[in-house]
Amino acid sequence: MAMDVHISNISGHGDAEKEYVYIKVDNDCDIGHYLLGDTTYTAEGSVSVVAP
Protein backbone atom coordinates (compact mmCIF):
# COMPACT_ATOMS: atom_id res chain seq x y z
CA MET A 1 0.00 0.00 0.00
CA ALA A 2 1.48 3.35 -1.04
CA MET A 3 1.31 6.48 1.08
CA ASP A 4 -0.92 9.25 -0.26
CA VAL A 5 1.05 11.96 1.59
CA HIS A 6 4.78 12.56 1.92
CA ILE A 7 7.19 15.26 3.11
CA SER A 8 8.65 16.99 0.08
CA ASN A 9 10.81 19.61 1.82
CA ILE A 10 11.65 21.22 5.17
CA SER A 11 12.50 24.93 5.14
CA GLY A 12 14.16 26.94 7.87
CA HIS A 13 15.49 23.81 9.59
CA GLY A 14 16.89 24.62 13.02
CA ASP A 15 15.02 27.90 13.54
CA ALA A 16 11.78 27.15 15.41
CA GLU A 17 10.31 30.53 14.46
CA LYS A 18 10.84 30.00 10.71
CA GLU A 19 10.77 26.24 10.23
CA TYR A 20 7.96 24.70 8.22
CA VAL A 21 7.28 21.48 6.34
CA TYR A 22 6.02 21.07 2.78
CA ILE A 23 3.64 18.12 2.54
CA LYS A 24 2.71 16.76 -0.88
CA VAL A 25 -0.60 14.97 -1.29
CA ASP A 26 -0.51 12.52 -4.20
CA ASN A 27 -4.04 11.14 -3.99
CA ASP A 28 -7.41 12.12 -2.59
CA CYS A 29 -7.32 11.09 1.08
CA ASP A 30 -8.50 12.00 4.58
CA ILE A 31 -5.60 14.10 5.91
CA GLY A 32 -6.98 13.56 9.42
CA HIS A 33 -5.48 10.07 9.29
CA TYR A 34 -1.90 11.42 9.20
CA LEU A 35 0.34 12.80 11.92
CA LEU A 36 3.52 14.84 11.58
CA GLY A 37 5.78 14.52 14.60
CA ASP A 38 9.28 15.58 15.51
CA THR A 39 11.62 14.40 18.21
CA THR A 40 14.84 16.35 18.45
CA TYR A 41 17.51 15.51 20.99
CA THR A 42 19.98 17.66 22.89
CA ALA A 43 23.69 16.84 22.94
CA GLU A 44 23.07 15.05 26.27
CA GLY A 45 20.56 12.68 24.67
CA SER A 46 17.42 14.18 26.22
CA VAL A 47 14.39 15.17 24.15
CA SER A 48 14.56 18.90 23.49
CA VAL A 49 11.58 21.13 24.10
CA VAL A 50 11.00 24.39 22.23
CA ALA A 51 8.79 26.64 24.32
CA PRO A 52 7.30 29.90 23.08
Query: Tell me: the pLDDT tens digits for 19-30?
Result: 899 999 999 988
Q: Can you give the pLDDT at residue 44?
A: 79
Higher pLDDT, 16 or 18: 18
7 and 22 in contact (C-beta within 8 Å)?
yes
35 Cα distance to chain centroid: 8
Distance CA 40, CA 10 (A): 14
| Cβ–Cβ < 8 Å for 41, 48 | yes
* 20 and 7 Cβ atoms separated by less than 8 Å: no
